[in-house]
Amino acid sequence: MNGKTALRALALSLVLALGAGAGSLLLGAGAAAGAEVKIDNFSFTPAKLEIAAGTTVTWVNRDDIPHTVVSNDHVLFKSKALDTDEKFSFSFTKAGKYPYFCSLHPKMTGEVIVR
C-alpha cells in the first residue's frame, strides 16, 4: 500500500467511523497489539477494522442470541457459538483483507484489514 492509498484509507475510515458509527477504525501504529469488535444488535462494530500485522482481534458478543465469527473461507478462523458475553480472539500475522461473517446469521458480515 503506498502512502496515497493509506491516506485515502484513513480518510475513508474516518468518514465511516464518524458517519455511520459502525464504520472502520484505524489503529495507530503504536497502538497495543489488541483490538475489539463488539457484536450487538446482530451486527459487528466496527464492521470494518483496520489493524497492523501482529494484532490480536477479540470479538465479544453483547447480544442475547449466540453468534459465531467465521472467516469467509471457513478455514482461517472459526469460533464456536459465542453465548452472551463470550469472546473469541484471533491474531492476524499477514497483511491482507479478511472478510468474515456469522455462520448462524449470515447477513452479519465484517472485515479485518491487516496492513
Partner 1 sequence: MAETRDDVLPQQSLLFDHHHDGVDRRGFLKCMAWAGTGTLCVLNGGILKSFSLSGMSEIERAAAKGEMSFVQISDSHLGFNKPANTDVAATLKAAIERINALPVAPEFILHTGDITHLSKPEEFDAADQILKGANTQQVFFVPGEHDMLNDDGKSYLDRYGKGTKGSGWRSFDHKGVHFIGLVNVVNLKAGGLGSLGRDQLEWLEDDVKHLPKSTPIVVFAHIPLWSVYPQWGWGTEDGAQALGYLKKFGSVTVLNGHIHQTMQKVEGNVTFHTAMSTAFPQPQPGKAESPGPMKVPAEQLRSVLGITDVTYVRGRHALAVVDSTLG
Q: Which residues bind partner 1 (CB under 8 A)?
A: 41-43, 63-66, 68, 72, 80-81, 83-84, 99-101, 103-107, 109
Q: Which is nearer to partner 1, 66 or 115 (CB)?
A: 66
Q: Which is nearer to partner 1, 89 or 109 (CB)?
A: 109
User: Sheet harboring 48-51: ordered strands across?
Assistant: 24-26, 48-51, 109-114, 96-101, 70-71
Between CA 81 and CA 62 the distance in angstroms is 13
CB of 65 to partner 1, least distance (A): 6
Q: Which is nearer to partner 1, 72 or 91 (CB)?
A: 72
Strand 24-26, strand 48-51: pairing? parallel
